[in-house]
Amino acid sequence: MSSDSSADAPIETDVVIIGAGPVGLFAVFELGLVDAKCHVIDILPKVGGQCAELYPEKPIYDVPGLPVVTGQELTDRLMEQIKPFGAEMHLGEQLNSLRRGDDGRFYMGTDAGTQFIAKSVVIAAGGGSFTPKRPPLSGIEAFEGTSVHYAVRRMETLRGKDVMIVGGGDSALDWTLSLAPIANSLTLVHRRDEFRGAPHSVDQMRALVAAGKVRLLIGQMTGLQGDNGELQTVTVKTASGDEAVTCNALLPFFGLTMKLGPIADWGLNLHENLISVDTERFETNEKGIFAIGDINWYPGKLKLILSGFHEAALMAQAAAKIVNPDKKVTFQYTTSSSSLQKKLGVK
């Protein structure tokens, strides 16, 4: 673990949660039920993690009790759920130092100079710091943020546009299906006529192609043409030669590059760049440091939001014994416990 050399007055709290995605937010709720006060740190400028940053309007179908919910709606609901516990959010900050003090507590600092002292740490940082993979095209940087987008944050901004989507996975297919009805034109480009996405999505895409509502090109982008950050055409190399395709909105979905960042230097046991945990407490090899959600690994791990929620619940029971070692932790149900209902403000 690295040492924290800043002399700024620290914030003292029970738990610091690293990551404000759905799993980190639900951890606030579970920890709140056991009287653990939390501060939450996220490198992104808003809460919601990848759900809100990359897929705010993309539907999610496997959250229990919600047949369909968007990433942003799920984030909003979680923020409403944790409101009674008053967790403070530190957004746009990255935790870059962590050490255990002689008193057993954790001393931490962010790149913004914020200092913390906590009895426990919960890493809920998804896959770590993530950045979209940039297509290897000369000059693409000039178009990023105006004509080239690595995520769709508001569908309406693409209404009436000549859209090109590049990729063969679920993101490329999902946005092809979602944007085809509102785009002026939509071209899907993939290097081969086989797709990694869900079979039903592939079938729906091919039906749109057959109906003339989507154009499918098998090939690769080789050049961008435009002025002042505004795309005009994209050159695509196909088996029959180069073609200049009219395009003023390019969406390359080449996946994400995941990096643990400073977390990798904290002496935690790693398994293929993920943090190994037990399945009773979801604790790392460092006592008092827990890892939940997509950033952890254990045999049988499934990278699902609902799995992260389960992990948060068990983690909170274990963390409670560290936060309040002299207090007996009695498991209670929110449906029948008057004390829990009082904490939630419903009694």
pLDDT tens column, 231-255: 999 999 999 999 999 999 999 998 7
Encoded amino acid at 334, one letter: T
CATH of the domain at 165: 3.50.50.60
Q: Work out how many domains the chain is built from and give that number.
A: 2
pTM reported for the whole predicted model = 0.70
CB atoms within 10 A of CB 177: 16
- Reduced to 3 states, what is the DSSP secondary structure of residue 105? coil
213, 232, 254 - which closes a domain: 254
C-alpha span between 105 and 277 (Å, rounded): 20
Encoding tokens for residue 184? 């002026």
Q: Does residue 180 fall inside a structural domain? A: yes
Q: Is residue 172 located within the same domain as residue 271?
A: no
Residues 172 and 68 in one domain: no
Give the Cα separation of 97 and 115 in Å (integer).
9
Whose tokens are 């695509």? That residue is 236
Q: What confidence tens digit (pLDDT) does each residue in 91-131 have?
A: 988 888 999 999 999 999 998 899 999 999 999 988 655 56
| Residue 8 confidence class, pLDDT cut points 50, 70, 90 | low
Is 4 inside any structural domain? no
Q: Which of 35-39, 171-175, 296-300, 332-336 has the lowest mean pLDDT?
A: 332-336
Backbone angles phi, psi at 338, to 5 degrees: -70, -30
What is the extent of the structural domain holding 153? 134-254
The last residue of a domain, from among 208, 238, 254: 254
- Helix then strand then coil, % of the chain, to nearest 5: 25, 30, 40
Helices (H), 153-210: 170-179, 199-210
User: To 5 degrees, how large is the angle CA 208–CA 213–CA 216?
Assistant: 70
Mean per-residue pLDDT, 54-65: 85
Q: Give the bridge partners for 144, in sequence order.
A: 148
Examine residue 3 and state whether it is found in any structural domain, yes or no. Answer: no
Domain co-membership, 100 together with 190 = no
Q: Are residues 122 and 267 in the same domain?
A: yes
Which residues, 6 or more positions from 330, have their beta carbon under 8 angstroms from its beta carbon?
Answer: none
Measure the CA–CA gap between 241 and 165, rounded to whole angstroms. Answer: 19
The closest of 281, 313, 280, 307 to 295, measured between CA atoms, is: 307
pLDDT band at 56; cut points 50, 70, 90: confident
Distances 85 to 15, 32, 44 between C-alpha atoms, Å: 13, 6, 22
Domain-embedded: residue 5 = no
Residues 208 and 229 in one domain: yes
Question: CA–CA separation, 256 vs 305, rounded Å?
Answer: 18
Nearest to 286 by CA among 100, 41, 109: 100
Sign of CA dihedral 40, 46, 50, 55: positive
Amino acid identity at 39: H
Task: Give φ, ψ of 148 to 5 degrees.
Answer: -110, 125
Q: What per-residue confidence (pLDDT) applies to 128?
A: 59
Rounded mean pLDDT of 62-77?
Answer: 94
| pLDDT band with cut points at 50, 70 and 90 for residue 319 | very high
- Sign of the C-alpha dihedral computed for residues 313, 318, 321 and 327 taken in this order: positive
Using alpha carbons, list the distances in angstroms from residue 322 to 118, 239, 289.
11, 63, 10
Which of 193, 247, 184, 196 lies closest to 221, judged by CA?
247
